[in-house]
Structure 1
Amino acid sequence: MRAAYASSLQPDAPLSGLTVGDLPFSAPEGWVPVQVRASSLNHHDIWSLRGVGLPADRLPMILGCDAAGVDPDGNEVVLYPVVEDKADPRGYSLLSERHPGTLAEQVAVPRENLIPKPAGVSFVEAACLPTAWLTAYHMLVSRGRIADASTVLVQGAGGGVATAAVALGVALGKRVYATSREPGKREKIAALGATAVEPGARLPERVDVVIESVGAATFDHSMKCAAPGARIVVCGATAGHKAEVDLRRVFAMQLEILGSSMGTAAELAELLDLCASGKVKPIIDSTFAFGEADQAFARLASGDVFGKIALDHT
């Protein structure tokens, strides 16, 4: 079958290790094969090509965490990409880390990882949700307890998780502020219904929840923007993982600093229902045919992306 996979690990030139070609389909006993109709890319795929979390002895490895497709019974499904993995310190792994990923004509998952796709959500839209959008939803709803909040700050909007957090925060009826270095992205943030500001800018009010995926470059700003009792939810550190934290502010303001990673299958079903209701739709930067996977990766690696990059397998 056709697949986009890591054939070699290249820390300094990751795309040179990407191959689009034929690989045999394989599935652990008891797992369900799914015909993929659409998939999407994540920066996780670029890190895999660099060799982060993907050792050479697992090559070739089909990339991709996100997909929607059709199961053997003809049901339209979305794949939950988290698989129980006792060998991993986290207790789980994602598709494409230990088991073949979604950037292929077929992918296999445990049956409990199949989530029904609502009729009102397209395959391409659904394929954008399982990693970045689910991460943002989990950060806001479960870790950030957004139901008890009025205001949200999203640092570094533009990429998948942060842009999803902006759109979801607005859809859930909150006042959302979002930072971006680029004027063009700030215009797009404003078009989503949020207030766009430059990094480090003073906000008109302190916020109840901060969505933090940037790291050291923005963490001090996140702390200063937090209202008493606020939750600062961290899912990444793209601009440095060694942030300085003023502990006096943490205890004086009674702040919560919470780590967050992915979300649950039940939350993915909730997210799909939210999209089906019409309250929010995935923000898609661009859609490529599956045969153009190399171009899609080049687009992702360019850094000039606002939202998700999807692959249409039909």
Structure 2
Amino acid sequence: MLAAYAARIDRTDPLAALEVGDRPDPEVPDGWTRVQLRAAALNRHDLWSLRGVGLPEDRVPMILGCDAAGVTDDGQEVILHTVIPSPGWSGDETLDPRRTLLSELHDGTFADQVVVPTVNLVPKPEGMSWEVAGCLSTAWLTAYRMLFSNADVSPGDTVLVQGAGGGVSTALIQLGAAAGLRMWVTSRDESRGARAVELGAERAFASGARLPERVAAVMESVGAATWSHSVNSLNPGGTIVICGATSGDAPEKAELTKIFFKQLRVIGSTMGSIAEMRRLVNFVDREGISPVIDQAIPLAQARDAFTRLAEGESFGKIVLTMG
């Protein structure tokens, strides 16, 4: 079968480690199901994998990809929940210290087929396009948990999203606007801020700009470069929800005094549970939300998709199509 995979690890030139070619069809263990894939979206995780982050040398070659949707052998149209707990784990999969994502221990979704635990299959709503279904499993699930499980906000509250244009950021804007939240964004690029407003953000500001008022919550994925701005932007008692640190994890100032004096909450957030995945799919379907898809590219041209993601020029999700 055709697949896009990490043939090796290259910490300085990750795209040099990417290959697109034939891989063996997967075997189906007991309790797992084969899915003939139709669409799968790229995430920054895939670039980090090529660098060896979460993917050691002894596990390559490894088919990449976390997001996915497709059809089971018995004809069910499904969306994949790609957090895989360790054997015997019960409860929230994201709290399992030995959990993995597809493409870390088990082959991922940038292929004609993939096998996943049967319990990880979520029915695809009738009428939802494959491209939309194929981009919900990672960035959109991350955004859903950040907003609705961890932010402690209510309709009418103002939420600041640090950065505009990435998969998590665009998902936060669209989900929050649909839920009646006032979504504000920051961006280094005025045009990307303007596009975020078109998506449903109420206002866009330059990165680091002083805001006209403080906010109830900040959605943080940038890290060191925006940390002080995030802390300073919050109301007393407000919440920072952090899911990543693309600019580094060592800010110049930790802002500990402001955090305890203003009684701020700092919540780490990673992916989401299977229950949250089902709620996300139902919410997107019920509200008629159309995730922003930057480009849909055939699997055979996966290198072009990875190059676009690495260059940081995409706005929304880049989706690979199969079949």
Q: TM-score, normalised by structure 2?
A: 0.94
Q: Is the 8 A contact 1:149 1:208 kept in 2?
A: no
What SS does structure 2 have at the residue aligned with 1:179? strand
Give CA deviations for 1:105-159 in whole Å, capped at 9, x if unaligned.
1000001000000013111101111000100110000011233761100001211
Q: Is the 8 A contact 2:49 2:55 kept in 1?
A: yes
In structure 2, distance between residues paired with 1:22 and 1:211 = 40
Q: Which residue does 1:57 correspond to in 2?
A: 58
Residue 81 in 1 paired to residue 90 in 2?
no
In structure 2, distance between residues paired with 1:131 and 1:28 = 24
In structure 2, distance between residues paired with 1:149 and 1:29 = 47
Q: Which residue does 1:12 correspond to in 2?
A: 12
In structure 1, distance between residues paired with 2:236 and 2:288 = 30
Residue 165 in 1 paired to residue 172 in 2?
yes
Q: Which runs of 5+ in 1 are unaligned?
A: none
Q: Which residue does 2:319 correspond to in 1?
A: 310
Q: Is the 8 A contact 1:149 1:209 kept in 2?
A: no
In structure 1, distance between residues paired with 2:21 and 2:30 = 25
What is the root-mean-square deviation of aligned Cα atoms in Å?
1.6
After TM superposition, give the deviation of residue 166 of structure 1 in Å: 1.3
Aligned pairs (5 A) from 1:1-314: 1-26=1-26, 27-85=28-86, 90-147=97-154, 150-194=157-201, 195-243=203-251, 244-314=253-323
Consecutive aligned runs of 4 or more in structure 1 exceeding 4 Å deviation: 86-89
What SS does structure 2 have at the residue aligned with 1:115? strand
After TM superposition, give the deviation of residue 66 of structure 1 in Å: 0.7
Question: Match for 2:226: what amino acid?
Answer: T
In structure 1, distance between residues paired with 2:218 and 2:313 = 24
Q: Which runs of 5+ in 2 are unaligned?
A: 90-94
Give CA deviations for 1:268-296 in whole Å, capped at 9, x if unaligned.
11111112123422111111012111111
After TM superposition, give the deviation of residue 8 of structure 1 in Å: 1.0
Question: Match for 1:302: what amino acid?
Answer: E
Question: Match for 1:83: what amino acid?
Answer: I
Number of matched pairs: 314
In structure 2, distance between residues paired with 1:292 and 1:102 = 15
What SS does structure 1 have at the residue aligned with 2:175? helix
In structure 1, distance between residues paired with 2:308 and 2:301 = 11
Identity %: 51
In structure 2, distance between residues paired with 1:199 and 1:95 = 34
What SS does structure 1 have at the residue aligned with 2:238? strand
In structure 2, distance between residues paired with 1:82 and 1:260 = 14
In structure 2, distance between residues paired with 1:153 and 1:132 = 17
Question: Match for 2:6: what amino acid?
Answer: A
Q: TM-score, normalised by structure 1?
A: 0.96
Q: Is the 8 A contact 2:155 2:179 kept in 1?
A: no
What SS does structure 2 have at the residue aligned with 1:147? coil
Question: Match for 2:31: what amino acid?
Answer: G
Q: Is the 8 A contact 1:100 1:107 kept in 2?
A: yes
What SS does structure 2 have at the residue aligned with 1:66? coil
Q: Is the 8 A contact 2:68 2:79 kept in 1?
A: yes
After TM superposition, give the deviation of residue 198 of structure 1 in Å: 0.3
Q: Is the 8 A contact 2:131 2:319 kept in 1?
A: yes
What SS does structure 2 have at the residue aligned with 1:231? strand
Question: Match for 1:70: what amino acid?
Answer: V
Which deviates further from its counterpart, 183-192 or 96-105?
A: 183-192
Q: Which residue does 2:92 correspond to in 1?
A: none
